[in-house]
Amino acid sequence: MRIDPWSSQSYADYARLREEFGIEPFDATGLPDQPPLFRRGLIFGHRGFGAVRRAIERRERFAVMSGLMPSGPMHLGHKMVLDQSLYFHSLGADLFLAVADIEAYAARNIPLEKARRLAEEIYIPNYIALGLPEERVQIYFQSRRQAVKDLAYLLGRRTNLTEMKAIYGFEDSVNMAHLFSPLVQVGDILHVQLPDYGGPRPTLVPVGVDQDPHIRLTRDLAGAHRLFSVEPQKEGGIGVFARGEEDPAPLLKAAKNALKDRYGRFDESIPYRALFVRDAKNDEIPGIDRALLKIEPSLGGYGFHPPASTYHRFMSGLTGGKMSSSKPETHISLNEPVKEAMKKVMGAVTGGGATVEEHRRLGGKPEVCPVYELYMYHLASDDADLQEVNRTCRSGERLCGNCKKEAAGLLESFLKDFEEKRKAAADRAKAVVRDD
Ligand code: TRP
Ligand code: SF4
């Protein structure tokens, strides 16, 4: 199986996805003030979240990064990523939002000018209406941020066509801009760790699993640009290795300097490009690695922490099957007329019985019902309310017609409120974009 970020494949079997791609199961235990997505287990996996959790617990700096391709409408599915990003911002993260205009041009042939208009008129006002903070936040365009494009170009040195084809399944007929666009996303995710943008620190990218190929590539390239690697040694202790081909002596000296407060028994080997730390234990490797990351920028490296990711479940389409940006009947857009949206809810497929009589007798199946998903992902902020929908659906007390009416009503007040906020945001939209 291959994950393709530009197709409209659906990925329902989350356990299998995790296994096949080495995604870890996500456990939200211990995170403070969790929003519904977290409390309800809708985040099914992660890569490297431990580093972010650690930063949260210690109140250390970290960043959260997301982006949107200004192409189709922004629907409730997209809102999930922003909800997560805002949550992590509330826990202390610096928030970065990319307008992926280069990707939209490369993969969807949307001119930069049009992307800019869409972003300024729709996406950014939506962000503001969803609660974009005023502090510790940057919205930028890929095409206008030189640091992102430079990194894309420079980091591309460490991947090749074979790898790009293996990860993305590109055919030989792919246009070169599209072939290159994943590197621009790598630039997005890693540039937040450059000194001008806050420096090396843990970074989280909340995404749908369709974006996992970009995460893998980014983590690979962050690792490929490390100056040091740290490995356990058979005879005990750990080894710090100077990577690459440059003279290892100054690197090893700097490494020793960084570690000498904590350890006392060092052996250096220039031919092995290694500093052996005899009195270090294997479980101290992450701490040693963090100390080395810190000094890498002063030694000519980047010191990139491998970016972490979380993966949320996808909402189903209202017509059954997959929710798709290009099929309006399958989703609720944040910008559609309230009446239209309500009509879609009323027409949605459900997990209810074939007849009222059967429904009363056997109960409904919330676990396969897109209307229930609306409650679970967006409409029921209170867990007790959601429980009640679930219970009365299963018992057959709740009929689908009434249930949809209630959902449509909740959606109506959400969208009306949202529309007002969005109108009020229109003036601010241009001002919040950083023009670099
Ligand atoms: N590729 C993402 C999409 O299709 C958009 C994106 C661009 C992005 N840069 C990013 C997402 C950085 C997360 C992080 O929507
Ligand atoms: Fe879905 Fe509501 Fe019908 Fe249950 S009662 S199947 S949740 S629409």
Least-confidence region, from 65-79, 220-234, 283-297: 65-79
The ligand minimizing its distance to the Cα of 398 is 2
Ligand 2 center from residue 152 Cα (angstroms): 47
Please give the average per-residue pLDDT across 281-301, as a whole number: 96
User: Quick check: CB of 189 below 6 Å from ligand 1?
Assistant: yes
User: Quick check: CB of 206 below 6 Å from ligand 1?
Assistant: no
**pLDDT value of position 21:** 93
Please give the average per-residue pLDDT across 42-57, as a whole number: 97
Name residue 275's beta-bridge partners.
240, 268
User: Quick check: CB of 408 below 6 Å from ligand 2?
Assistant: no
Nearest CA to ligand 1 atom 14: 66
Confidence of residue 435 (pLDDT cuts 50, 70, 90): confident
**pLDDT value of position 431:** 87
Beta strands in 209-361 (DSSP E): 228-232, 238-242, 266-269, 274-277, 308-312
Nearest CA to ligand 2 atom 5: 400
Least-confidence region, from 41-50, 257-266, 419-428: 419-428
Model confidence at 373: pLDDT above 90: yes
Q: Which atom of ligand 1 lies at the shortest distance from residue 65's CA? A: 14
User: Quick check: CB of 145 below 6 Å from ligand 2?
Assistant: no
Least-confidence region, from 1-5, 16-20, 372-376, 384-388: 1-5
Least-confidence region, from 5-14, 146-155, 205-214: 5-14
User: Quick check: CB of 205 below 6 Å from ligand 1?
Assistant: yes
**pLDDT value of position 326:** 87
Model confidence at 360: pLDDT above 90: yes
Confidence of residue 41 (pLDDT cuts 50, 70, 90): very high
User: Quick check: CB of 203 below 6 Å from ligand 1?
Assistant: no
Model confidence at 7: pLDDT above 90: no
Please give the average per-residue pLDDT across 93-106, as a whole number: 98
Other CB atoms within 10 A of residue 261 CB? 8
Model confidence at 8: pLDDT above 90: no
**pLDDT value of position 91:** 98
Ligand 1 center from residue 397 Cα (angstroms): 43
Which DSSP string corresponds to 134-202? SSSEEEEEGGG-HHHHHHHHHHGGG--HHHHHHHH---TT--HHHHHHHHHHHHHHHHTTSGGGT-S--
Cβ–Cβ < 8 Å for 99, 128: no
Please give the average per-residue pLDDT across 19-42, as a whole number: 95
**pLDDT value of position 145:** 98
The ligand minimizing its distance to the Cα of 370 is 2
**What Cα–Cα distance (Å) separates residue 308 from each residue in 9, 137, 188, 205?**
24, 19, 14, 6
**pLDDT value of position 278:** 97
Ligand 1 center from residue 100 Cα (angstroms): 6
Nearest CA to ligand 1 atom 6: 67
User: Quick check: CB of 400 below 6 Å from ligand 2?
Assistant: yes
User: Quick check: CB of 222 below 6 Å from ligand 1?
Assistant: no
Please give the average per-residue pLDDT across 342-370, as a whole number: 96
Nearest CA to ligand 1 atom 4: 69
Q: Higher-confidence residue: 324 or 192?
A: 192
Across the chain, mean pLDDT equals 95
Ligand 2 center from residue 368 Cα (angstroms): 9
User: Quick check: CB of 353 below 6 Å from ligand 2?
Assistant: no
Residues of the chain with pLDDT > 70, as a percent, come to: 100
Least-confidence region, from 6-10, 226-230, 397-401: 6-10
User: Quick check: CB of 404 below 6 Å from ligand 2?
Assistant: yes
User: Quick check: CB of 359 below 6 Å from ligand 2?
Assistant: no
Confidence of residue 356 (pLDDT cuts 50, 70, 90): very high
**pLDDT value of position 46:** 98
Q: Which of 22, 104, 14 is nearest to 67 (CA)?
A: 104
Ligand 2 center from residue 416 Cα (angstroms): 24
**pLDDT value of position 203:** 98
Model confidence at 121: pLDDT above 80: yes
User: Quick check: CB of 212 below 6 Å from ligand 1?
Assistant: no
User: Quick check: CB of 67 below 6 Å from ligand 1?
Assistant: yes
Confidence of residue 436 (pLDDT cuts 50, 70, 90): confident
**pLDDT value of position 57:** 97
**pLDDT value of position 325:** 85
Confidence of residue 153 (pLDDT cuts 50, 70, 90): very high
Per-residue model confidence as pLDDT tens digits over 173-228: 999 999 999 999 999 999 999 999 999 999 999 999 999 999 999 999 999 999 99
How is residue 316 annotated by DSSP? B
User: Quick check: CB of 372 below 6 Å from ligand 2?
Assistant: yes
> CA angle 376-210-144, nearest 5°?
105
